[in-house]
A and B are shown apart, each in its own frame.
Chain A
Amino acid sequence: MSMLAWVVAVLVIIGLYTLGPAFGFNAASPAILGMPPLYFWFVLVPLLNPVILGALYLIDRAENPGDDDELSDLAE
């Protein structure tokens, strides 16, 4: 399950970065939220990626709880 989720996440992230410019964002105007379209896309996607990878992380952690051994470091 987590392997499948990982493959999907990788494809989604590659797709967001490569297909966005192909489908309308590779343009200098009109502005989106005041920004040039391509610029806007490359502000948006880096913000979406932690969400996608965070979901993948939660799926993986549920499947492999033993991996959490070293998480105590986060509390330091």
Chain B
Amino acid sequence: MSDMVFILGIVGLGVLLVTWVGIRGGRQASTTMEGWLVNDRQMGPWLTWFLLGTEIYTAFTFLGLAGFAYSKGGGVFYNVATNDVGYALGFMLLPAIGLLGRKFGYVTQSDFIAGRYQNEWLGIIVSFCAAIIMIAYIDLNIEGLGAVLSVLTDHRLNILSADIIGFSVLSLAVFFGGIRGNAWQSVIKDLLMFGAIAVLFFTIPYRYFGGFGDMFSQMMQKIPSHLNMPGPTHKLTLSWFWTTVILTGFGQWMWPQWFNVAFSAKGPRTLKLQAVFMPFYQLVKVAVITIGFAAVLIFATQKVGGNEVVLRLAQQIFPPWALAIFALAAVLSAIVPAGPIIMMSCTMLARNVYAKLVPQTTDRQMFNMTRWLVFVVTFAALILAVVAQSLIVTVLLVAYDFIAQLVPAVIIGGLLWRRATGAGVAAGLLVGWGLSLYFLLSHHDPVLGYNAGFVALLANCVTFFIVSLTTQPVPTSFLDEFFGAAYHRRRRQVIAAPRGALARDLPDSLKNPVS
């Protein structure tokens, strides 16, 4: 039996085992919609920390960051800053969103937006667009899986075939594995992934350079342009870095799957603890970035695809049995976090778009539609992966350009500015998404050295303010109740929502358009 067959066999068995663990866990999952989407709002600090870590640190971290460091240099550090800025913002924003979820029975981001602006159509549009944007996130996981298979087969499997297999594995694992990866899947994936990164991080300096000091010395002497900005491409300037950190830091909680952590958590204290401890995960990213820089020296003049850097190094270093475990870690880093992302996208399309447009849809129909949409959404991601082959990090940066346009709707108008209106949000989004699309299609990113999404966000904000000030606001009585709940100072009492309550069950006065 060749090494390649052995490794692929181990990876296949591992994926089947972890999927089986997910199916077993799914049997014990809550059967209510609220339990399905937000774990009955009962997630404590440890589980929240663990599952959030699992969903944020994916194939993007494992494979993508090293590739970006290898190809683009010091600009990669934007991603270390991104999450930390996001955690700091989340310290106050997420508890406020969580309290609003309890008060009004919100279980998705679009429930929140439709409720705040008293405009169901706005919720439907935002939900549809966010679900489409999330396809980019699924795409990067398919690209990660494709890269793993391509390297393991020594490129005998071309990228298209590898991506198609990646799509099949991903969609079947999510379809059969259930709605949300359970804690055991996350444990297996995290142990393997962080273990694999640690082994590579500590092995590379001693195997290739004689130690960390020698490795850094050689980097400073031989590849100085990789160690700072603008990097070897001369495009990622400091102004790009600043605007990217602001855009992605503020945009982090706009991803519906992460936004939902506010609804899932047991209470404000749980969410605030995350902000304190989540930054420790960032050191894992620094380790991966180090591997990417080292790869520039190790591969020297060899041509290596950015997404393949980590696996090519593992291939050089590890014996077949260890490489099999490493490859399994890489595959799981794509499959396990992709589950909640795919399911959230499908749920939003079924529940917040289709069921709102066709109110007589039953819960059973919605559930079935959600499951079958897994194939549709993942196939759309496959198309994107095939049509627009790119570095994993580049895919995510483009996705951030679009998802961060929700910042005015969620943060400014949703939690801070009472005068914001649904019309202002809609107009701002139209401008923001339109500009982002224009910059993307015309290859104008960065724009005069600034992140294109940031420029679009500025235009979005200006439009949002102007249109809000010239349109009819939401009634004061509702705003008093809404903002009162968001900033309620609790003294041992919890705002309780009826178990199983959903936004769709709210009184018409809270969910129907006002005007």
Please encode chain B, from 205 to 236, with 1 for each CB lying within 8 Å of some chain A CB and 0 for all others: 00000001100110110001101110000000
Secondary structure at chain A's binding surface: helix, strand, loop or mixed?
A: helix
A:19-76 near B, CB below 8 Å: 21-22, 26-29, 31, 34-39, 42-43, 45-47, 49-50, 52-54, 56-57, 60-61, 64-71, 73-74, 76
Check if A45 sits within 8 Å of B84, measured CB to CB.
yes
* Nearest residue, chain A, Cβ from B241: A21
Check if B81 sits within 8 Å of A53, measured CB to CB.
no
The answer to the question of B24 belonging to the interface, with a C-beta cut-off of 8 Å to chain A, is: no
Check if B88 sits within 8 Å of A69, measured CB to CB.
no
Check if B490 sits within 8 Å of A42, measured CB to CB.
no
Secondary structure at chain B's binding surface: helix, strand, loop or mixed?
A: helix
The answer to the question of B276 belonging to the interface, with a C-beta cut-off of 8 Å to chain A, is: yes
The answer to the question of B270 belonging to the interface, with a C-beta cut-off of 8 Å to chain A, is: yes
Check if A69 sits within 8 Å of B216, measured CB to CB.
no
Q: Among A31, A36, A61, find the residue whose CB has the most chain B CB atoms closer than 10 A.
A: A36
Closest beta carbon of chain B to A48's beta carbon, Å? 9
Check if B81 sits within 8 Å of A18, measured CB to CB.
yes
The answer to the question of B418 belonging to the interface, with a C-beta cut-off of 8 Å to chain A, is: no
Given A50-B277, A60-B272, A66-B492, A38:B267 Cβ within 8 A: no
Q: Among B212, B246, B267, B279, find the residue whose CB has the most chain A CB atoms closer than 10 A.
A: B279
Number of interface residues of A (CB under 8 A): 46
Stretch at the interface among B1-9, B107-115, B280-288: B280-288
B:464-510 near A, CB below 8 Å: 489-494
The answer to the question of B269 belonging to the interface, with a C-beta cut-off of 8 Å to chain A, is: yes
Check if A14 sits within 8 Å of B238, measured CB to CB.
no
> Which of A17, A50, A52, A67 is B81 in contact with, Cβ under 8 Å?
A17
Given A31-B220, A53-B87, A71:B46 Cβ within 8 A: no
* Nearest residue, chain A, Cβ from B84: A49
Q: How far is the CA of A47 from the CA of B224 in the complex (A)?
A: 25
Check if A13 sits within 8 Å of B88, measured CB to CB.
yes
Contacts of A73 in B (CB 8 A): 44-46, 266, 270
Check if A68 sits within 8 Å of B229, measured CB to CB.
no
Check if A43 sits within 8 Å of B267, measured CB to CB.
no
The answer to the question of B80 belonging to the interface, with a C-beta cut-off of 8 Å to chain A, is: yes
Contacts of B493 in A (CB 8 A): 66
Contacts of A57 in B (CB 8 A): 91, 272-273, 275-276
Contacts of B272 in A (CB 8 A): 57, 60, 67
Check if B283 sits within 8 Å of A43, measured CB to CB.
yes
Check if A70 sits within 8 Å of B84, measured CB to CB.
no
* Nearest residue, chain B, Cβ from A54: B276
Closest beta carbon of chain A to B162's beta carbon, Å? 32
The answer to the question of B417 belonging to the interface, with a C-beta cut-off of 8 Å to chain A, is: no
> Which of B95, B216, B241, B283 is A46 in contact with, Cβ under 8 Å?
B283
> Which of A22, A46, A47, A67 is B238 in contact with, Cβ under 8 Å?
A22
Contacts of B159 in A (CB 8 A): none
The answer to the question of B242 belonging to the interface, with a C-beta cut-off of 8 Å to chain A, is: yes
Closest beta carbon of chain A to B186's beta carbon, Å? 17
Contacts of A50 in B (CB 8 A): 276-277, 279-280
Some 22 contacts from A to B, beta carbons below 8 A apart, are: A6-B91, A9-B91, A10-B85, A10-B88, A17-B80, A17-B81, A21-B241, A28-B224, A37-B228, A38-B77, A38-B227, A46-B280, A49-B88, A53-B88, A57-B272, A66-B490, A66-B491, A69-B492, A73-B266, A73-B270, A74-B44, A76-B44
Q: A17-B84, A34-B216 are in contact. List 13 more A-B contacts (CB 8 A).
A: A6-B92, A10-B91, A14-B245, A17-B245, A18-B245, A22-B238, A42-B77, A43-B286, A46-B280, A46-B283, A50-B279, A57-B91, A57-B276
**Which of A's residues lie within 8 Å of B, judged by CB?**
3, 6, 9-10, 13-14, 17-18, 21-22, 26-29, 31, 34-39, 42-43, 45-47, 49-50, 52-54, 56-57, 60-61, 64-71, 73-74, 76
**Which of B's residues lie within 8 Å of A, judged by CB?**
44-46, 74, 77, 80-81, 84-85, 87-89, 91-92, 95, 212-213, 216-217, 219-220, 224-225, 227-229, 238, 241-242, 245-246, 249, 266-270, 272-273, 275-277, 279-280, 282-283, 286, 289-290, 293, 489-494
